[in-house]
């Protein structure tokens, strides 16, 4: 199936004609999980194929999946335990540092990997524009299955099948990309105070602006980079 879309990201309009990649493994996974997901979503007045938004929190090892509702805001659908990630709190800065990234990423159809050697996966798109501005290096940072990781966020195979089904269904239904926001922890003022002496505190305060935007509006912001900082505004898509 081809997906035709025009997207705005980092201030640049991109016309894309994207193929949704598919393998026998991904087809089986979607067919296995779609019926139960439809039922669970309907219980929350949500639908499979509606736009998806993902948040990851390192310290607690949680991955949240939010789904767009009838009011065009996002409702929390499910929280998944992350099976494993490597490194400590703080962003990935260079190839081989064993760190899992933090920041604002997005997943296009071409970033799905239904042939992954880690069962199923999608690429977060690290390094993004912010990472490149700051000279950060690395590649192939994923959310995937198989519960092993060197810089990725690894899930169990069952959980990645569910998450993959939600993401693929949204992309197949016309969502141009899925935003994935990765935080060290919930960026509330009292939590940040505990890390006031950490070398990443200024970076985390910048991340907090995007965190607070979603907490206030329940709509993920459009994210751009200006002068080496993330800036946030309402998405025009």
Whole-structure pTM over 0.95, yes or no?
no
Confidence of residue 61 (pLDDT cuts 50, 70, 90): very high
Q: How far is CA 16 from CA 7, 110, 175, in A?
A: 8, 10, 12
Active-site annotation holder among 33, 83, 119, 144: 144
Torsion of CA 132, 112, 162, 221, to 10 degrees: 40
Q: Can 144 be counted among the known catalytic residues?
A: yes
Q: Are 182 and 105 in contact (CB under 8 A)?
A: yes
Question: Residue 41 carries which DSSP code?
Answer: H
pLDDT single digits (tens) 189-221: 999 999 999 999 999 999 999 999 999 999 999
Place of tokens 């993902």: 54
- Do the strands 2-9 and 62-68 form a parallel or antiparallel pair, or are they unpaired? unpaired
Say what the pLDDT of residue 209 is.
98
83 is catalytic: no
What is the C-alpha separation between 59 and 83, in angstroms, rounded?
13
3 state SS of 185: coil
Count CB-CB contacts under 10 A for residue 54: 25
pLDDT digits (tens, 9 = 90+) for 138-188: 999 999 999 998 889 999 999 999 999 999 999 999 999 999 999 999 999
Q: Cβ distance 105 to 128 under 8 Å?
A: yes
Residue 87 has pLDDT above 80, yes or no: yes
Look at residue 174 in the predicted model and tell me its pLDDT: 97
User: Which residue out of 33, 119, 152, 181 is catalytically annotated?
Assistant: 152
pLDDT confidence of residue 150: 86
């Amino acid at each position: 199936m081809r997906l035709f879309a025009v997207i705005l990201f980092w201030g640049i309009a991109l016309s894309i004609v994207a193929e949704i990649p598919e393998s026998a493994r991904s087809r089986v996974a979607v067919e296995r999980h779609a019926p139960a997901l439809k039922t669970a979503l309907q219980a929350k007045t949500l639908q499979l194929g509606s736009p998806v938004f993902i948040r990851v929190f390192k310290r607690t090892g949680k991955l949240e999946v939010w789904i767009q509702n009838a009011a065009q805001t996002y409702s929390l659908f499910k929280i998944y335990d992350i099976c494993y990630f490597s490194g400590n709190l703080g962003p990935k800065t260079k190839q081989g540092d064993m760190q899992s990234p933090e920041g604002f990423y997005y997943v296009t159809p071409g970033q799905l990997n239904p042939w992954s050697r880690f069962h199923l996966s999608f690429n977060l798109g690290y390094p993004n524009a912010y990472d490149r501005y700051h000279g950060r290096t690395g590649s192939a940072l994923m959310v995937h299955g198989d519960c092993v990781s060197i810089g990725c966020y690894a899930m169990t195979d069952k959980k990645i099948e569910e998450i993959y089904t939600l993401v693929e269904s949204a992309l197949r239904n016309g969502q141009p990309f899925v935003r994935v926001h990765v935080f060290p922890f919930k960026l509330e003022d009292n939590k940040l105070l505990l890390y006031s002496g950490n070398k990443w505190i200024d970076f985390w305060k910048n991340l907090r602006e995007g965190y607070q935007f979603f907490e206030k509006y329940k709509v993920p912001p459009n994210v751009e980079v200006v002068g080496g900082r993330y800036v946030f505004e309402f998405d025009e898509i």
